[in-house]
Chain A
Amino acid sequence: MAQPMGFYTDTTVCIGCKACEVACKEWNQLPARNGGVGVLSGDSYDNTRQLDGTHWRHVKFVEQFSADRQDGRWLMMSDVCKHCVNAGCLEVCPTGAIIRTEFDTVVIQSDTCNGCRDCIGACPFGVIGLNPVSGTAQKCTLCYDRMKVGLEPACAKACPTKSINFGPIADLKEMARARVGQLHEAGENRAHLYGGDETMLGGLNSFYLLVDKPEAYGLPPDPRIPSRNLKPSAFWSTLGALALTIMGVFHFRERGRRDV
């Protein structure tokens, strides 16, 4: 297996240019929404609104301003699939369409997916969506086709500020930790890594440097794997089934034996 590859996104240098979104759309030939007719959301500069089956990159704009707008800041973040080490989508997929690649990334095989959408609800980050053209669930592949031939993903290639960094996970983590240290030294003590270690879903192969709590960026504070509920749910259901069976036998049982 090749070494694990991924993204480290430094949100402090993102300028919200959306070059990553455009590069992703172009390379992956993703269809336009609404027949290409632009619709303004009214929410800052964000008209993409979410990650889904046709938007595999999404630049978020968070405006944190005082009421008189004299004081404040912009938070910008290019969001993408986290390629979790313990991936909820991969866990629940009933067709085997979602696989882990030799680069430790998570890819949906569009020719296998039948559009059941279980993975959409299972993803802790709301990354996956149904592509209306293919009728299948889709998300970022971390440009598997480009990686196979030694190229970096289209978004990282297009990023003009090096906010999106691509490379071996071990190198990226080293780079990210150094950057956090640099920011702390400069007085930005809020800087921290999101998904930069194994405590979050075994590690996110696309992790972030944030300067606010995850919720401010629309990221879950405590993402978890869906199978955490499997055993307790199965336990209570089995208990219910036993109770119903005993109850049924009690109600339908004839005193003595049935005449055959």
Chain B
Amino acid sequence: MSSTFFTASPEWRWFIVAYFFLGGLAGGSYFLATLMDWFGTEQDRPLVRLGYLIAFPVVCVCGLVLTVDLGRPERFWHMLVQSHTFRPMLKTFSPMSSGAWVLLLFSGCAFVSFAAALAEWRAERGRPNWGILRLGSPAAPFGRLVSGLGAILGLYLAGYTGVLLSVTNRPIWADTTLLGLTFLTSAASTSAALLILLGTWNGLSRDRLHRLERFDRSALILEVLAIAALVTSLGRIAAVWLDGWGILLAGMVLGGIALPLLLDWRPTEKRPVWIAPALVLLGGLVLRAVIIFSSDRL
């Protein structure tokens, strides 16, 4: 038996599942917005704005659920500042410590881009604007610097949560080194799905969403490969998934990856566009719940 089975559970439950899911969406949406901002066309502007407008509120919720989950929420700042000396608190080799800093820095970038996206949106509608909001505009060098940095931090935020789980001694989590990769690919697919979903609700035509859908398909293929590699890397330990959690994981792969791929492959006019992205989003949430809870009970 693996030595990881002799350890105690940190009892990370729904707040942490929510954080892992929302952190992936915030980081992933920002990353996609930056890519479309830098390499896309004027036609992509509504999606770019949408990505930036999503990232900031979602990352705020991330900070909130993380704080609420602490045993002593009023001491959340101890993650960033040494409570005795008031010096910065950073351990680069502790994913939770570096993750706390990344969350803070990413929030800063997300705020600047959020403000710029808001300014752009208002300007497009001919409404009066506040000059300060335009500071983060992609046309300005500062805005470009912020979006580039934010995209890197967003990727970190989307993937470090898996690394954090592996850098413990818990069953499943510490028995593989592919959780970071799995969460990262899932963050990419769920973020693309969220943008497609919100884009559709905002009246964007299928033509405008086409490239995002193509990206989502590629991300889903990467994700399923990552999950297959993850299960393989667990070796005999994967047998712990021969239960309800394993069935849920298989259901996630079928319903949250295979089915959306199939639906995208054969699009019809009759079928609403939102079905495939909604399944991808649900799959991303289920994936994180399975990873967290299937270890928790061991």
A-side residues, CB < 8 A to B, are 50-52, 88, 91-97, 111-118, 120-130, 134-137, 215, 218-224, 226-227, 229-230, 232-237, 239-241, 243-245, 247-249, 251-254, 258-260
Contact = CB atoms under 8 A, between A and B. Distances in A.
Contact of A129 (B8, B95, B159, B163): B8
Contacts of B91: 91-94, 96
Contact of B6 (A218, A236, A245, A247): A218
B49 interface: no
Given A121-B9, A240-B184, A243-B222, 12 more contacts: A94-B97, A94-B100, A96-B82, A113-B75, A125-B7, A128-B8, A220-B6, A230-B93, A234-B163, A252-B35, A252-B36, A258-B42
Interface of B: 1, 3-12, 31-32, 35-36, 39-42, 44, 70-73, 75-76, 78-79, 82-84, 89, 91, 93-97, 100, 139, 155-156, 159-160, 162-164, 166-170, 173-174, 177-181, 184-185, 188, 211, 214-215, 218-219, 222, 226
Contact of A114 (B35, B70, B163, B219): B70
A117 B70 CA distance: 8
B167 A94 contact: no
At the interface, is chain B mostly helix, strand, loop or mixed? Answer: helix
B160 to A, nearest CB: 7
Nearest to B165: A121
A233 B156 CA distance: 12
A239 B164 CA distance: 17
A114 B10 contact: no
Contacts of B170: 121
Given A249-B35, A252-B39, A240 B180 contact: yes
Contacts of A236: 177-178, 180-181
A258 B45 CA distance: 12
B6 A121 contact: no
Contacts of B78: 95-97, 112-114
B8 A124 contact: no
Contact of B7 (A123, A239, A253): A123
Contacts of A122: 167-169
B93 A112 contact: no
B88 to A, nearest CB: 11
Given A130-B71, A218-B6, A236-B177, A244 B84 contact: no
Contacts of A230: 93, 95, 163, 166-167
B199 to A, nearest CB: 14
A258 B35 CA distance: 12
B226 A96 contact: no
Given A112-B84, A243-B222, A251 B214 contact: yes
A226 B35 contact: no
Contacts of A223: 3, 6, 169
B79 A93 contact: no
A224 B83 contact: no
A226 to B, nearest CB: 5
A237 B215 contact: no
A181 to B, nearest CB: 28
A166 to B, nearest CB: 25
Contacts of A252: 35-36, 39-40, 44, 211, 215
A120 B179 contact: no
B177 A233 contact: yes
Given A50-B8, A237-B184, A113 B35 contact: no
Nearest to B215: A251
Contacts of B84: 112
B3 A220 contact: yes
Contacts of A222: 3
B159 A240 contact: yes
Given A135-B72, A137-B71, A126 B8 contact: yes
